[in-house]
Copies of this chain bind each other. A is one copy, B any other.
Amino acid sequence: MEIDSERLREDIETNAQFGELDVDEGRGRTVLTGTEADRDAREYLVRRMEASGLDVRIDAVGNIAGRWVPEGVDPDAAAVAAGSHLDSVPYGGIFDGPLGVYAALEAVRSIQESDMELSRPLEVVSFTEEEGTRFDIGLLGSSVATGLRDVDSALQLEDEDGLTLGECLESIGFHGDGRLPVEEWDAWLEVHVEQGTILEEAGDAVGVVDAIAGLTNAHVYIEGEANHAGATPMPERTDALAAASEFVLAVERSAQTVVEATSPTAVGTVGKLDVRPNAKNVIAGEVALMIDVRDVEYDSIQTIMGETRDTLDELERTRDVSTALDWYRDQEPSKMSERCVETAIAAADEAGLSWQKMHSAALHDTAYLADVTDTVLLFAPSEDGISHNPLEWTNWEDCTAVTQVLAGTMVDLAQQ
């Protein structure tokens, strides 16, 4: 079984053209659900799946699955599925997501070309809106596929302009039927870039992830009083942006404290912040921001979120602002299956590749899949750990190596 590095690279580089950015350094893309770039990326994937004889299905929320039933295999046997996502953050990189989708497709192609005998069908999958950029909810496609969110409520989600997910998918021709029956899969495997420097620093080719950190998101609203920046004396101000600035720093400090005291893997971030009216000569009347807190220890998340609430209470007292917190997401940490982790390690050993067990600080669709089937997540090294950025990079040899481990794991699981 031999991975065709060139074929894998061609697919990833072709996909990188959809939503491509004009940047001085690196290679970036912006692929938001329901845009032209998303349609082009999806159509290319479907063409490549069909070219390899996969039977393509699109579900109601646009999740794409290509199924291959090897000759002589019971078509009703539980499949071994692998994949990731094609959407990106704004100004994102070309590997985050697409590597997992095209590694899965390349694994299937290399298995097709080998003389391996399987007992199970294989599936290549791309989940919709993993990044949550357009509809504000990450892992959206896998949340529907795993039954956490029902199809209708997902389709009615609205973007900033009031367009629904259903309308967006309809407009690009990817609003299919039902939901992928992921709970029927024998196993789910995802390849992803590490988005950190652990593998690079250790010189390991592959990370075998045994746990995914939990993740919490909340919207925070801080309301002050918009007023003329020239005519309003300092003591009479209720400046929503100054209050929000204290909040941003409090979140950072709280996460740093948890890191030093109990759990080095804890992180807390305010990455999105919008000011109203956002004019140079008007004191900010309103700030809307989002907080993102993660750790493999659920206690850390609860500590940081508790301090977040305390900070808002304090700002109400000290700055006379009104605040609101909408804690809309609270995903506990997920454990991968031991069977899949051990199979992946054996596959890495067989391929002669150095590996290490690790956890994932970032959330992936696999976190939801872990609730309904056996899973493992495989990491490829990220240059300098940079991700969600046009400078995100993974060497082509590393892409090939992780695809080799994926293919070996799929074969082993599909033979059981």
Contacts and interface: CB of A to CB of B under 8 A. Distances in A.
Which of A271, A294, A363 gathers most chain B CB within 10 Å? Answer: A271
Contacts of A266: 234
Interface stretch (A117-125, A144-152, A172-180, A235-243): A235-243
A309 to B, nearest CB: 18
A172 to B, nearest CB: 21
Interface in A137-194: 138, 194
Most buried by B among A259, A266, A291, A386: A386
A387 B227 contact: yes
Nearest to A198: B231
A249 interface: yes
Interface string A257-276: 00100001111111111111
A222 interface: no
Counting contact residues on chain A (CB < 8 A from B), the size range is 35 or more
B234 A255 contact: yes
Contact of A234 (B225, B232, B267, B292): B267
A271 B267 contact: no
A226 B90 CA distance: 11
Interface stretch (A42-50, A280-288, A310-318, A394-402): A280-288
Most buried by B among A90, A234, A294: A234
A231 B379 CA distance: 12
A288 to B, nearest CB: 11
A132 interface: yes
A252 B246 CA distance: 12
A279 B284 contact: no
A96 to B, nearest CB: 8
A215 B138 CA distance: 44
B283 A269 contact: yes
Nearest to A138: B281
Nearest to A226: B389
Contact of A215 (B136, B230, B246): B230
A116 interface: no
A386 B245 contact: no
Nearest 8 Cβ contacts at the A-B interface: A230-B362, A195-B231, A245-B245, A280-B290, A230-B361, A229-B269, A231-B361, A245-B248
Interface of A: 89-91, 131-133, 136, 138, 194-197, 213, 215, 217, 225-236, 239, 241-242, 244-246, 248-249, 252, 255-256, 259, 264-285, 290-292, 294, 360-363, 385-389
